[in-house]
Structure 1
Amino acid sequence: MRNKGWKELELFYSVETSQYFLEKVYKNHDMDDPKRNSYKNGERFIFFLKHAEAFYKQAKLASIEIKPILLFYGMAQLLKACILTSDPSYPSHTSVLAHGVTTRKRKKQNYRFYEDEVKIQRNGLCMHVIQSLFQLKGLEDERFSMKQLLANIPEINNVLSFQRRENPMVKVSVQDGSIRLPQHTADAYNMSAKRFIEHVEYHLNWNFTGEDNGSFVFSSDQKEAHPCTSTSLLFELENETYFFPAARDRFLKLPEILVHYLIAYNLSMIARYETEWWYDLLLQCSSDDYVIIQQFLHITEIKFPYYIAKLLLGKKEYNKKGQLY
């Protein structure tokens, strides 16, 4: 699966192709001077991708002690390549160069990674991605716990269930912009069918279109029906299956790309600055954090490049209605 993501990204490894791609994207977004900007950014776009690939190649060979650092920097380079598709002048000022995320500087006694949290800063790469690439608002100074973030990666669910951590979700069907939720999902929310439909329409901005074969059918923005841009549905890559959180507090309104970035940032900071705790965890396998971290690193190494490839290839099909695919 990893090869699939990078194989698709390697399609851009030509200045001629990258310039054509960027010019098309800039034109579709009605940006100023698309030809000049695509000429200016064609090489930079490739360099970001290639630099990311170098980090990922080293991460594949590296031991777990330094793998989070390499993967995080690889992620940052991939995101910078994506930003060039929505912000031709990136970086226009120094405030967008920082990571844009913070975590606790000193870990408390009896620290648990699963219970740690990160905070999104008002400036930096993270906020620029949120605003420029995904057009999301209201996330300035938001805090997210590792528990919240990990619950939004379906592949982690087996680990959480094995560790007796409740993370209910239901399998859903997504086809041609329609999302079908099993009617029993309402029971998980302790709601009547009518109340559940109203809840989904209000909080997720989906439109109820009817009932069919034991499912509630909704229509939504095209971005919600694709894993790299959805902020509500959860996507399992191996089986290409969509899930819907079966608990009200599981919705973070973040695309999974950002979920991976925030978790990887925290892990990279731990690997760099919390050496004593980090090596105690890795050598002693002293807590459940070890298995969670190990599984996350394996998943994100495959899944993050896949999402980036789909996001970029989707922009080739972008139309002026704002639909990515």
Structure 2
Amino acid sequence: GGAARAADFNVYWGAGAKVDSVVDISNNVLVPFDTSMGGNWGILTTANASGANSFDGRADLTVTDIGCVEPLKSTLGGSRVRIPCDTLAAAPAYKLDSIATLGSIAFTSDSITYAQSTTLSPTAPQPGFLFYLPGHVFLMQMPALPTAGMVWTLRSYIGAISGGNGVGGNLGPYTFTPALRSFTAIGAQAQVTISSSIAAAAVATNDLSSVHTVPDPYYVQSKYEASTDQKVLKFVGLPQDCIIRIYSVSGVLVRVIEHHSGNYASTSLAQGSEHDWDLRNRNNQVVASGVYFWHVEAGDARKVGRFTLVNFAQ
């Protein structure tokens, strides 16, 4: 929550130079207040920053005073080295406030080294205070405090500034190199809309309990035939994949039908798919009238049945 963010902020001032609220308008969230540094806002003034405890030891408020605010005060390593506090661990940390008061401030100078900049730089001609936003510090100079109803708009960036003419010499014009904007605003939400199309595949089943033939008996013709030249006897209630074998009453194999259905759906006859038989044998001849046996095989499942056929030779 304490990482710096690139965003626009609105600061709403109330009576008595008290900040009513701070809104991150880029992420549409309210920025909370806290006395320490993090994903919050706060104000540091000369009234709550004792010069005796700060790195520069002066009464003027400078940017190095932020080093005495937690968690920087207790941090070891890079941040502590660049923005040090006092050398006494027992010294109390500075606290951020929600009310601004004016006091003497001092800005760093390019004509001297950083270690000397806050100790030797002159006091600014006008007073001010330090305003902290998530990961960013602004040293404000002004002749009078903001009045009730006033709205400040502040913008923070993520990136690096190079160039300038200072202690290190003339490095050319100032250049800002932006970095990837981090999504660190407390309370911010990311909304993602995903569209998908799901097709439910038919569930293969080897249940053969509903398998039978229609019509039974078959007498001359059936209602499924579109013309007198067409013969149709249906096997219904079939699973999605199976093998149908048809035998004569004497055990002669008449026809083998491989059934593969991409549509395992309900019909008016039974639950399952169906397959039409044209009453022709393996030699493409119309079979004679009589009793026939059928055998359906689907995986490990088997079922045997029979039907009667009364047919006229074609």
- Larger RCO (CA under 8 A, 6+ residues apart): 1
TM-score normalized with structure 2 length: 0.19
TM-score normalized with structure 1 length: 0.18
Higher strand fraction (1 or 2): 2
Higher helix fraction (1 or 2): 1
Larger radius of gyration: 2
